[in-house]
């Protein structure tokens, strides 16, 4: 197969490239997701001032270190992923991932640049907790696991549940919070650009999350239906044997 610029990729090279991307994505999502979950649960200052960072509680150095410690690595991984996807578009290109990555990078650029919406940015990062299960599905397929093997079924159910919790169910609290702060003084201090960027980037990402959730749910329902059919078939056969 031929990549951008006439770069010839063998099947082995393609698999190695995909494998590398999945490994990096899994490691990155675990680190970012766990770190983000810790901040979400235990970092009181960001809860106290979720829209803007209070200078009286955070000095500039501490703000920079805490923001950079997980948002910069997150952005670098996305930039690398985006670059490779564009470079080898004919092999691994996906327009929805391009939109997803660009929207995410733009949103976190504003967080890093302006030091605002840190609590919201961190809350949205919790979505990464679903990525290891999504990536694991690719590993199973690459290793030629049977489609309805126990490992794939368990991972598929976990993927559906976790994806729903961190990407779909999380929408209601997020947009409820957005509505509750609309028109308040901290919200006005954000400025029109950040206000619009907050809404538009989240809507774009959530539309894709809903699309992916529908696709994942259909796959999960198909697997569960197959298991039920197999159980019914086995019960029928056992009944005949008896």
| pLDDT digit string, tens, across residues 64-88 | 555 555 666 777 778 888 888 888 8
Cα–Cα distance, 187 to 52 (Å, whole number): 9
Higher pLDDT pick, 54 / 137: 137
pTM (2 d.p.): 0.83
**Residue pair 76/83 in contact by the 8 Å Cβ criterion:** no
Q: Is it the case that residue 133 has pLDDT exceeding 90?
A: yes
Work out the angle at residue 161's Cα, subtended by the Cα atoms of residues 40 and 198, and round it to the nearest 5 degrees: 45
pLDDT 10s digits, 217-238? 999 898 888 888 877 877 777 6
For residue 187, what are the CA distances in angstroms to 51, 129, 178, 184?
7, 28, 9, 5
């Amino acid at each position: 197969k031929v990549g951008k610029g006439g770069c010839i990729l063998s099947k082995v090279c393609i698999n190695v490239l995909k494998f590398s991307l999945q490994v990096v994505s899994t490691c990155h999502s675990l680190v970012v997701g766990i770190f983000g979950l810790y901040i979400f649960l235990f970092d009181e200052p960001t809860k106290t001032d979720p829209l803007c960072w209070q200078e009286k509680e955070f000095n500039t150095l501490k703000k920079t270190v805490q923001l950079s410690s997980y948002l910069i690595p997150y952005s670098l991984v996305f930039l690398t992923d985006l670059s490779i996807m564009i470079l080898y578009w004919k092999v691994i290109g996906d327009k929805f991932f391009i939109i997803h990555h660009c929207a995410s990078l733009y949103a976190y650029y504003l967080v890093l640049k302006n030091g605002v919406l840190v609590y919201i940015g961190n809350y949205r990062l919790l979505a990464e907790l679903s990525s290891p299960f999504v990536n694991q599905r690719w590993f199973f397929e690459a290793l030629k696991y049977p489609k309805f093997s126990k490992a794939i079924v368990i991972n598929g159910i976990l993927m559906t549940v976790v994806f729903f919790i961190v990407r779909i169910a999380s929408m209601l609290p997020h947009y409820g919070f957005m509505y509750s702060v609309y028109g308040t003084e901290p919200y006005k201090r954000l400025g029109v650009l950040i206000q619009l960027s907050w809404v538009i980037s989240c809507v774009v990402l959530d539309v894709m999350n809903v699309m992916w959730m529908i696709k994942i749910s259909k796959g999960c329902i198909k697997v569960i239906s197959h298991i039920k059919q197999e159980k019914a078939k086995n019960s029928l056969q056992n009944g005949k044997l008896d």
